[in-house]
């Protein structure tokens, strides 16, 4: 079989997409009105979600940015997506951009008293080192394949403040149904399933959907941004 020919696409340096960014910001401001301790898994260039949290956190907050900043596409991703291949070639640029942009924020917002920690590590080896109940806010946007999302969610549940905390993330385009869960179980190594080629009007990340279905059953979701709130040890939708 000949290799599929894929047209190159421009990789976005800010991946807090236009249809999600404003609602992520609004959600964050509704959820928190004082200083918090936050964790972001998946920072990329530090120009997307990271800027939203930095620009909306209250003085006295701390944010830990965890990203492997290494190639992470699976063989399957590399076969089906030029975007994954191109992202893999940009991981060191992404790391350097984050350093520069964090420094810029610190210089520009010298009064803000926001502490920023940068951790270059695979989340699956780093998160187990952290203590439970550490974070009020956890945003998950790392590797979207099943095993990695599952691991990020298991640790997020352990790490979140059980009195009041929010776990949220990117790329849940559609809520889990029995049919989609079954389909996702056959695509654990796939980043993105384009269902438009099967004449369906949606596409989605099967690993994100399956891991969320297993860990939470369901969550709240708007335009692909998903969240769940922990109150007094109970996970609830709002
Ligand atoms: C979709 S991008 C994040 C986009 C970013 N949140 C934004 O709004 O622009 C995914 C990021 O996850 C990182 N990543 C992939 N696998 C990871 C892993 N196992 N541990 C930590 N980070 C990972 C990649 O290096 C990449 O920077």
Interval 158-167: pLDDT, tens? 999 999 999 9
Nearest ligand 1 atom, CA 52: 8
Instruction: Show me where the domains of the chain are located.
Output: 21-171+216-236
Nearest ligand 1 atom, CA 139: 6
pLDDT at residue number 9: 56
> How confident is the model over 181-209, as a mean pLDDT?
89
Tell me, in angstroms, the distance from the centre of ligand 1 to residue 49's CA.
11
Tell me, in angstroms, the distance from the centre of ligand 1 to residue 232's CA.
30
Over the stretch 5-22, which tens digit does the pLDDT of each residue have? 444 458 999 999 988 999
pLDDT at residue number 3: 45
The structure's pTM equals 0.95
The architecture (CATH level 2) of 21-171+216-236 comes to 3-Layer(aba) Sandwich (3.40)
pLDDT at residue number 42: 98
- Provide the mean pLDDT of the chain: 93
Nearest residue (CA) to ligand 1, atom 15: 143
Is the separation of the CB atoms in 6 and 78 below 8 Å?
A: no
Is the separation of the CB atoms in 131 and 162 below 8 Å?
A: no
pLDDT at residue number 7: 43
pLDDT at residue number 213: 98
> How confident is the model over 37-64, as a mean pLDDT?
98
What lines the ligand 1 site, CB under 6 Å?
14-16, 41-44, 48-49, 66-69, 72, 91, 94, 122-124, 141-143, 148
Q: What percent of the chain has pLDDT over 90?
A: 83
pLDDT band at 67 (very low <50, low <70, confident <90, very high): very high
pLDDT at residue number 4: 43
pLDDT at residue number 1: 44
Nearest residue (CA) to ligand 1, atom 27: 44
Tell me, in angstroms, the distance from the centre of ligand 1 to residue 61's CA.
22
pLDDT at 119 over 70: yes
pLDDT at residue number 191: 92
């Amino acid at each position: 079989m000949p290799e599929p020919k894929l047209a190159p696409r421009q990789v976005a340096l800010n991946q807090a997409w236009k249809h999600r960014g404003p609602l992520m910001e609004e959600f964050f401001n509704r959820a928190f009105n004082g200083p918090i301790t936050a964790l972001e898994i998946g920072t990329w260039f530090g120009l997307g979600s990271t800027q939203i949290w930095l620009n909306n956190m209250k003085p006295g907050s701390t944010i830990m940015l965890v990203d492997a900043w290494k190639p992470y596409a699976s063989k399957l991703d590399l076969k089906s997506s030029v975007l994954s291949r191109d992202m893999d070639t940009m991981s060191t640029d992404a790391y350097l951009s984050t350093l520069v942009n964090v420094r810029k924020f610190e210089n520009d917002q010298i009064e803000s008293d926001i502490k920023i920690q940068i951790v270059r590590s695979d989340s699956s080896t780093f998160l187990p080192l952290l203590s439970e109940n550490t974070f009020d806010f956890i945003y998950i946007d790392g590797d979207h394949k099943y095993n990695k999302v599952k691991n990020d969610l298991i640790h997020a549940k352990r790490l979140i403040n059980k009195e009041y905390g929010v776990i949220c993330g990117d790329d849940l385009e559609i809520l889990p149904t029995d049919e989609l869960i079954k389909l996702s179980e056959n695509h654990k190594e796939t980043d993105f399933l384009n269902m438009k080629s099967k004449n369906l009007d949606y596409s989605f990340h099967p690993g994100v959907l399956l891991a969320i279905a297993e860990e939470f059953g369901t969550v709240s979701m708007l335009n692909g941004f998903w969240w769940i709130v922990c109150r007094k040890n109970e996970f609830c939708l709002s």
